[in-house]
Amino acid sequence: MRVNCNTDLRTHWCELPVELAQQHYLGTSTNAGMAANVQDIFNPSHTYKYAAPGPQLLNGRPTQDYKLWVPDDFPTCASTNGQYYSDPKTTPVRWVVWSLGPQPDGPRSQNTYAPMANWSWYCSAGGGGVIACFAGQDGTQYTTPF
């Protein structure tokens, strides 16, 4: 996980890992905050977002583990009850990749429980919200319905 608090890169939180571009799994980009050349079609000049509970780099330096909120009823994700997971061994979610959707600055896209809460998903948001793909601990992949 990578996050950045520099003013000019603040909106580039949770970008796709730079290592994917460095190891040639994804094309590289020269745009600031976009190591991978995979632009989110709803959020120009930004990659899709990526999160995984566990180690986190803040401004390129190790810091506390990243915490991902997961509802108690994962993978349905309709519950308002849940908890934050930071241990990759105990979390029900291995990783999540998402787009901020057609309203990247909207309240559903920026919700603190997004992208794992289904009320933050595009399909339940009436045009706003995130579009996500995530994997359970067993490797099963899920996508938010459209």
Greater confidence, 61 or 127? 61
Average pLDDT over residues 90-115: 91
**Per-residue model confidence as pLDDT tens digits over 21-31:** 888 898 888 88
Closest by Cα among 51, 42, 46 to 3: 51
- Which class for 136: exposed (0-12), middle (13-18), buried (19 or more C-beta within 10 A)? middle
pTM of the model: 0.86
Distances (CA, A) of 92 to 37, 58, 88, 135, 143: 29, 24, 9, 9, 15
Token digits of residue 35: 């190591």
Give tens-digit pLDDT for 52-70.
999 887 767 788 888 999 9
Write out the residue range of the structural domain in which residue 18 sits: 2-143
Between 41-45, 69-73, 74-78, 133-137, the lowest mean confidence (pLDDT) is in 41-45
Number of domains in the chain: 1
